[in-house]
Amino acid sequence: MSQSSALIHTLKQQLKLQGVTYAMIAQALSMSEANIKRLFASERFTVIRLEQICQLINLELTDLARLYEDSRQHITQLSIDQEKELIADTKLMLVAVCVRNHLNFNEIISNYQVSEPECIKYLAKLDRLNIIDLLPGNKIKLRIAEDFHWQPYGPIERFYEKEIQGQFLKSGFNQSPDLRLFLSGLLSEHSQQIINKKLQSLAHEFTQLHRQDCELPLQQRRSIGLLLATREWEFSAFTPYLRKQENIT
């Protein structure tokens, strides 16, 4: 379904919800009911006519667009097989990361050794995986939900652990504006829950800033990695010196 058809479908749903019939629209616009039916059947609306119909149910055109966007299915997770397909092809993974970072078609082929036919092929695959909508003119629209996450310890997370995590932490983090903080201490379960909530809040803020900055030119953005982690932990070199706790009766 094209975007224009989907927009008209959303309008029909809103008219039905508010009990507005073709006859009522015809009377309000001084048209025959038959003409209104033909208008909806052909989906050939002028912007002015579309706005007039929206006004009958107190909608702005921007409201209609928002309702359409809200009605679209946004994926929260890929299947195991879909994740395997992503990591099986390095260039496919590269293009997926690019679109996740809101690079357009021209920016992808200009900044990476991906030819136009290759890029179209990979974008079509991402469309099939429901990660994006590939629109006319090679326009890209993301379909990833706010709470999107990888399969817990699935193919992507295992790939990250094996190929990326060590590489990321190998840095000395000594170049501005790099930052590495490592803290350890004895905390209660309640205190650890507080730390976890703050980390989740920071992750949410990172996502919001990422979305905000996608409006900037690519030249003003840099690829940034952020690792958040907390777990019960003991330095392995200390482990041999731990005393076994004796049961007290």
pTM here is 0.67
- List the alpha helices (DSSP H) in the chain: 3-17, 22-29, 33-42, 47-56, 61-71, 80-87, 90-100, 105-111, 116-128, 155-159, 165-169, 189-213
DSSP β-bridge partners for residue 142: 132
Rounded CA-CA distance 196/136 in Å is 43
Q: Determine contact, residues 3/136, Cβ cutoff 8 Å.
A: no
**Ramachandran area for residue 173 (φ above 0: left; ψ -120 to 50: alpha; else beta):** left
Domain positions in the chain are: 3-71
Q: Determine contact, residues 123/109, Cβ cutoff 8 Å.
A: no
The model's pLDDT over 210-248, given as tens digits with 9 standing for 90+, comes to 988 988 989 999 999 999 989 888 778 777 877 775 554
Q: Determine contact, residues 67/10, Cβ cutoff 8 Å.
A: yes
pLDDT given for residue 106 in this prediction: 95
The model's pLDDT over 109-148, given as tens digits with 9 standing for 90+, comes to 999 999 999 999 999 999 988 889 898 899 998 888 777 8
Portion of the chain with pLDDT greater than 70, in percent: 95
Q: Which residue type occupies 237?
A: A
Q: Determine contact, residues 142/132, Cβ cutoff 8 Å.
A: yes
The model's pLDDT over 138-183, given as tens digits with 9 standing for 90+, comes to 999 888 877 788 999 999 999 999 988 988 998 889 888 899 999 9
Largest Cα span, the chain: 91
Sign, Cα dihedral of 12, 17, 22, 27: negative
Q: Determine contact, residues 30/22, Cβ cutoff 8 Å.
A: no
| Fold of the 3-71 domain | 434 Repressor (Amino-terminal Domain) (1.10.260)
